[in-house]
Amino acid sequence: MAKSDVFIGSLDQGTTSTRFIIYDHDAKAIGSHQVEFTQFYPEAGWVEHDPVEILESARICMTKAIEKAAADGHSVEKGLKAIGITNQRETTVIWSKSTGAPLHNAIVWMDVRTSSICRRLEKELEGGRTHFVETCGLPISTYFSALKVLWLFENVEKVKKAVESGDALFGTIDSWLIWNLTGGIDGGQHVTDVSNASRTMLMNLKTLDWDKTTLKELGIPSGILPKIVSNSEIIGKVTEGWPITGIPIAGCLGDQHAAMVGQACRKGEAKSTYGTGAFILLNTGDQMINSTHGLLSTVAFKLGPNAPTNYALEGSIAIAGAAVQWLRDGLGLIGRASEIEKLASEVDSTGGVYFVPAFNGLFAPWWRDDARGVCIGITRFTNKAHIARAVLESMCFQVKDVLDSMHKDASEVESKEKFLLRVDGGATVNNLLMQIQADILGNPVVRPADIETTALGAAYAAGLAVGVWKEEEIFSSGERMKIATTFNPILEEEKRKKKVESWCKAVSRTFDLADLSL
């Protein structure tokens, strides 16, 4: 079969939408489709998804992407060699092993309903918030899956009964997808990969297996947990009833880890992905670094069962693109998310306005679930364009906060390119946002020609497992860098410093604003 007839599929299941992208041997997208799905907000700070709706969105995307590729003359059904999966991390599902039905809506990564459980554990466990850091690299936080599992155990009777009877299965969205794609109640594979497992608070970062002591302390039975596999290996084949029956699932990574592979981040190189949230990861190679500046230690990727494990430092930002959606859906200042660039460009500054989108608290490097959003510096001069520009700036300031912490934690492993930030994700099409980011950092920002590096990374992992690509091809980024767009800072240093100082003051105003009576 000619290289032109070889294809790899990538199922990219994100926080607000699902996509299926088909790549040819040159890693060029030749067919894709995207579907948004429902966001449920049952209470203030709570966010849920319907797991069944997510499955249906995946089915639609696969079907439509194949149809689009076929319309352009590509015989995808004959040439598709494997698919990779990448997903929103930490989002938690518990379902029935016997019926396949979810026992509750998925609790989304940004949901803060577990804050009381966090406070309880901090009081009960030695070391408080950092009790599990040495084992899993993560603080006790509403962010991670283990606490969501505990909430479901304690608050949903169907979950409690299913766990007690041995009928419950837990998984993040990758596990839910793979189990259903490979047969569901008829022999579905119950697995997760090392990157998603590293975000549960339950995996030992050194052994890459579920930590027995942690499970015992939290009261989580090992029988509900999936098997942990690498990011690049054949997991199983898609069963009948799906548009790609018989195709191997050969790659699986959490979305931010997939973006690292898609950006070809070697040891000492960092990337920032701008989506619903923003996530900055620095590849620390085989060295696991415990942060002292508010960051997380995590697995970067492990590209094969016998491949070395790359670790990373991560700074997670809860609200980035979601703030633009709020301007659109909550305030009605824009009709479409893409309109924010034009609106924000109507002014050359925010007019002294600072917006901190602590809607559900603040993640790295602050870790304040008592924080709530603020918009300050408003005068009679302020108009909606100033607000729009302040929203864009808020993304960039948050990224700077994380990178500053990253430089302090990992100066010994950073490459000479540490002042060059690789960016990806849907929001990076906004040229104004990218220029603001370069100005606030005071350093260049590089955007690849293909900004959908999350989907690309999952495709690379799958293609690597079935021999479509070799690792040296994936990490040879020279040609890709030539066609990338670089944004260089133009803001004067004194103005940049002043803006950063004002931003830090604005962040401090968000603390202890959560209304616990809600």
pLDDT for the residue 269: 84
Q: What is the pLDDT of residues 345-391, one digit of tens each?
A: 999 999 999 999 999 889 889 888 889 999 999 999 999 999 999 99
**Domain 3-255 identical in fold to domain 264-416+496-518:** yes
125-134, 137-146, 416-425: least confident range: 416-425
* pLDDT (mean) for 333-342: 94
**pLDDT surpassing 80 at residue 103:** yes
- List the one residue out of 224, 191, 190, 198 whose CA is nearest residue 144: 198
* pLDDT (mean) for 447-451: 84
Query: Is CATH 3.30.420.40 correct for 264-416+496-518?
Result: yes
Q: Is the dihedral of CA 241, 242, 247, 249 positive or negative?
A: negative
Domain boundaries, the chain: 3-255, 264-416+496-518
Between 427 and 419, whose confidence is greater?
427
- Alpha-carbon radius of gyration of the chain: 22
Rounded to 10 deg, the angle between the 145-155 and 115-124 helix axes is 100
Query: Is CATH 3.40.50.2300 correct for 3-255?
Result: no
Q: What is the pLDDT of residues 175-202, one digit of tens each?
A: 999 999 999 999 999 999 999 999 999 9
Q: What does the alpha-carbon distance between residue 383 and residue 362 come to, in Å, rounded to a whole number?
A: 26
Q: What does the alpha-carbon distance between residue 198 and residue 144 come to, in Å, rounded to a whole number?
A: 10
Per-residue confidence band for 1, with pLDDT thresholds at 50, 70 and 90: very low
The CA distances from residue 513 to 19, 159, 184, 367, 369, in Å, are: 37, 33, 44, 14, 10
% of the chain with per-residue pLDDT over 90: 74
pLDDT for the residue 292: 86
Q: Is the dihedral of CA 419, 478, 85, 226 positive or negative?
A: negative
**Beta-carbon contacts of residue 56 (< 8 Å; ≥ 6 apart):** none
pLDDT for the residue 72: 84
Between 49 and 265, whose confidence is greater?
49
∠ Cα 146 149 155 (to 5°) = 140
Q: What is the pLDDT of residues 55-79, one digit of tens each?
A: 999 999 999 999 998 888 888 778 8
* pLDDT (mean) for 15-35: 93
Between 191 and 289, whose confidence is greater?
191
What does pTM read for this prediction?
0.86
Count each helix (H run) and each strand (E run) in the chain, helices first.
18, 23
* pLDDT (mean) for 445-465: 91
